[in-house]
Structure 1
């Protein structure tokens, strides 16, 4: 039963990496869109694309935390004791990001919009970096039961690389989804704008992945061996195939399917990490069985998880479907003008 709960947690992390990661990626492109005039149209698209679903995407993070502290309290204590600083910075980023996005749209003054926009955009860069750094510290075996907080736990080669990969992967997802959103909202010229950025982000992901081979070989040997053999290697190869398929689909302008393959590439990568790390939750010091809570707690956690999937799952799927079909965010005349205002400089 502990193994089942552990895999549910991995699936929830994959869901957050894909759903929340797409939002973080949109925030990254918001950050680098340029000044008020140059970035006006990309930011307009980002606002309308994210508005219906950005709060729902954070449900997966809550799910991960609940499973961790309920099903694996020893792991939860060890991680949050050793990594409290990057996790606190990520949490601050989550709050500022949400506040900035929510307050930017109704703000009327340009100065206010800039402040709120900066909060949203910068936090969208820092939060995935720190979350990735935490995962890198765990994968490298720097977190054990009783480990005290220290910079080395998350400021090391594997952690920095994992943080950069997290940022690049979210930028890739965000740009792929925004290509389809640009077409859906009638901003045809923004399709190529984000298509080029999606291809560039994928190139950065590929370069970082290649850099990661020698880094993980020397600094996270157990996980490296899991990623280069068995099911871990199979999932890595499938993730690479899905990533390359996304590039091909983008070049062919098949943006609907490119969403599916980009999500699959990220989800498979998270799954590969899960297989590479087993049977440990903290390599190589704490196994799944050792970290698991009481048996009756795990039984109730399984029941609650099944109920949550049955009750919440269909609603979330319906929400995503309605958003994809454009049923949740209607365009006003002003929006249509913003999407195609003549003379705007990209």
Structure 2
């Protein structure tokens, strides 16, 4: 039963990185678009995201519930020591959601539209940055777990582990990943000049992602961050990164030729490789504190709780996943092969 719970935890993480990432990335693409491209980008984003944007964050909720019920020790560390960046994440999700709705349904067209647009764009950028910074804090080796609060200040216990260069680089890397996903997705949702615009964005954010990834690992390694050292010395993780690097060449080719389906699937596969490489390098010791590495499998919930949770996840999975697939298929989010791309699929 534990393996079932672990599967749903990791599967929810993957789906949130992909779907939630593309959701955030759409706003980032709009933020970095030129003034003449912002309007058609906004219209395309609404047409694509409008029917499904609320469903994307269900995977974050599922992850938190699984951690809370099955892995209470991990949940406590995350909630206690990362309450500031996670609060900012929740505020960002809420505010950008409000802006997304009001900028399309506000019946009065006035200066408020200007603020709705910028709130959505800025929220779409800073939210994944804070999410990435939270993950950077977990693996950065700076969290101080103690009950002796008199000898530590507020900054030492609750800020320094996420407010640093390494965590910021992780945050920027995830934001770039979101923009890469969204721009590649939008290639298949536009025509003509707009399609070329998203292809250029996709190529640009792919390059940014590669550069940031190199800087992130290099900085972590030379700063003696254990996660980065273990990542570089892990043959499986390095093999995944190398394979991902090789796949950049066909990906760039598909993006340049503006292929809707091939570029989309290859982009998703790239993300899966990167995520697997990061998790495999240190699983199950995802949290690295200043004094120890905390295993996800330590201090588990009682076996009966794990079993009941696994059953509920299986039942929920059989209900949610087909419904989500039907929703995305109904609004043409999941595409099949196209005639001019069959030879590349």
**Superposition TM-score, scaled by structure 2 size:** 0.87
Pair 1:278–1:326, CA change in 2 (3 A):
closer
The answer to whether 1:202 aligns with 2:206 is yes
**Is contact 1:177-1:259 (8 Å) kept?**
yes
Q: Distance in 1 between matches of 2:255 and 2:310?
A: 40
SS at match of 1:152: coil
Residue correspondences, number: 322
Alpha carbons 2:141, 2:226 under 8 Å: kept: no
Counterpart pick for 2:316 among 290, 308, 322:
308
Once the two structures are superposed, the pairs formed by residues 48-197 of structure 1 within 5 Å of their partners are 48-107=47-106, 108-143=108-143, 145-146=145-146, 149-183=157-191, 188-197=192-201
What is residue 46 of structure 1 aligned with on the other side? 45
Q: CA–CA distance in 1 between the matches of 2:326 and 2:317?
A: 13
Residue deviations 1:295-322 (CA, integer Å, cap 9, x gap): 1111111111111111111111122222
Q: What is the rounded CA distance, in whole Å, between the counterparts of 2:34 and 2:110 in structure 1? A: 15
Aligned-pair distance for 1:80? 1.4
Equivalent residue, structure 1, for 2:25: 25
Q: Deviations over 1:171-192 (max 9, x none)?
A: 1111111111113xxxx21001
The Cα shift of 1:23 comes to 1.1
CA distance in 2, matches of 1:72, 1:143: 18
Aligned to 1:249: 254
**Which of 286, 291, 309 lines up with 1:281 in the alignment?**
286
Distance 1:49 1:88, change over 3 A: same
Structure 2: how far apart are the matches of 1:237 and 1:192? 29
- CA distance in 2 between partners of 1:66 and 1:244 (Å): 39
Q: Call closer, same or farther: CA 1:80–1:28 in 2, change over 3 Å.
A: same
User: 2:190 is paired with a residue of what secondary structure?
Assistant: helix
Unaligned runs of 5+ in 2: 148-155, 336-345
CA distance in 2, matches of 1:149, 1:84: 11
**C-alpha separation in 2, matches of 1:288 and 1:189:** 48
1:118 counterpart SS class: helix
8 A contact 2:71–2:297 mirrored in 1? no
